Amino acid sequence: MRNDTYVVIMAGGIGSRFWPFSRSNYPKQFHDVLGTGESMLQMTMKRFQDICPVENIFVVTNKDYKELVQQQLPELTENQILLEPVGRNTAPCIAYASYKIAQLNPEANLVVTPSDHVVLKQDVFTNVIQEAVDAAAKDDVLITLGITPSRPDTGYGYIQYLNDESQKIKKVKTFTEKPDLELAKMFLDSGDFVWNSGIFIWNVQSILKAFHQQLSEITEIFDEGTSTMNTPEEQNFIMKAYSHCRNVSIDYGIMEKVDNVYVLLADIGWSDLGTWNSLYTINDKDENGNVVDGEVILYDTKDCIIKTPKERLVVLQGLEDYIVAEYDNVLMICKKGEEQKVKDFMADAKSKKGPEYI
């Protein structure tokens, strides 16, 4: 464990592709998605218990979720919960955390991770992160974890790397966001593409340098508030700063444009749990290929994912390859192969029925 390692957990999204289970007032990162007794956020926090001290872990979330974070992670102080007034994608989120932590420790090494991913191989993950942190502490590099693809998935971003057998941490050649199926198949066949996990490792000075080079409009905003970080004035500054920040991802704004990006291939049992199909993929199935979470009786039903309230008995007959999901005041039944429409369902529910359904 390195005392100069800091972890930034991004927990501000609403997980719209996981509707109706993920809702604007209670997003999926606060749910016990896997039935383990812990939320995705709590599992993410625990994942780093052997990597850095708890006081070095920071959560960035929307101001509306402050109480949820405090309830689920009572070990964090208020200064460790960074509140965004509005979502502006990952670049402003990471800039905020980087400026704040740089004020605490100018030599900090940062691990930036989403709050809603699954890692099944904890020991391997710990070793991989420590290896990446050691590399980032020595050199001006921006590292991401790359996952060897098991299928031509169109829901993930892909990273192409230079296949230098002598280097375990490989230089990134190209990024591709969510390709179509034919391109994804080509990537898989080529052998030099991996999934972009969205987990990043770098020294705080390296990422701040990259921000100044590539997203100077963001650093101009945050440079003005450097002295407010970790003071009572921080939140007032952030409220003003975010009103001037544009919506931009760290991948598009920095990672795709700088030449010191590297990828560390990692077999960590990873899934981003971004969709119903990803939840179906990692869960145990019954003898008919169904994933069931709830009080359910099935007849002639196969290859479905069913997630319903435990206080309601659900009886299903004659379904194949469907998603059946109920939470609060919404029941959704959708073909598993057409789950890309879930975001449209959510938008239509809001416009036609009201915001209480999203």
pLDDT at 340: 87
pLDDT at 155: 80
User: Which one is the CATH code of 5-271: 1.20.200.10, 3.50.50.60, 3.20.20.450, 3.90.550.10?
Assistant: 3.90.550.10
Which has the higher per-residue pLDDT, 260 or 177?
A: 260
Residues above pLDDT 70, as percent of the chain: 100
- Check whether 165 has a pLDDT greater than 80: no
pLDDT at 178: 85
Which has the higher per-residue pLDDT, 62 or 274?
A: 62
| Residue 260, Cβ density class (10 Å: 0-12 exposed, 13-18 middle, ≥19 buried) | middle
- Check whether 256 has a pLDDT greater than 80: yes
Q: 73 falls in which pLDDT band (50, 70, 90)?
A: very high
pLDDT at 109: 98
Secondary structure class of 22 (helix, strand, coil): coil
Q: 154 falls in which pLDDT band (50, 70, 90)?
A: confident
Q: What is the pLDDT of residues 53-67, one digit of tens each?
A: 999 999 999 999 999
Secondary structure class of 329 (helix, strand, coil): coil
Element (H, E) at 197: strand 193-203
State residue 239 phi and psi, 5-degree precision: -55, -45
Mean pLDDT of 34-38: 89
d(CA 358, CA 346): 6
- Check whether 149 has a pLDDT greater than 80: yes
d(CA 227, CA 234): 9
Q: What is the pLDDT of residues 210-248, one digit of tens each?
A: 999 999 999 999 999 999 999 999 999 999 999 999 999
d(CA 59, CA 78): 10
Cα dihedral value 241, 245, 248, 254, nearest 10: -70
Mean pLDDT of 200-204: 98
Mean pLDDT of 25-47: 94
Domain extents in the chain: 5-271, 281-353
Strand order from edge to edge, sheet including 291-293: 291-293, 305-307, 322-327, 330-335
- Check whether 170 has a pLDDT greater than 80: yes
Q: Among 50, 250, 217, which residue's Cα sits nearest to residue 133? A: 50
pLDDT at 253: 97
d(CA 66, CA 77): 11
Q: What is the DSSP annotation of 93-151?
A: HHHHHHHHHHHH-TT-EEEEEESS-EES-HHHHHHHHHHHHHHHHHSS-EEEEEE--SS
pLDDT at 177: 87
Q: 174 falls in which pLDDT band (50, 70, 90)?
A: very high
Secondary structure class of 349 (helix, strand, coil): helix
pLDDT at 50: 94
d(CA 200, CA 8): 10
- Check whether 274 has a pLDDT greater than 90: no
Pair 340, 54: CB distance under 8 Å: no
Average model confidence (pLDDT) across the chain = 95
Integer CA distances (angstroms), 263 to 10, 67, 132, 141, 260, in order? 20, 35, 9, 10, 10
Q: 179 falls in which pLDDT band (50, 70, 90)?
A: confident
pLDDT at 1: 74
Bond from prior residue into 179 cis (ω within 30 degrees of 0): no
What is the pTM (predicted TM-score) of this model? 0.94
Which tokens hold the place of 84? 């965004």
State residue 299 phi and psi, 5-degree precision: -130, 130
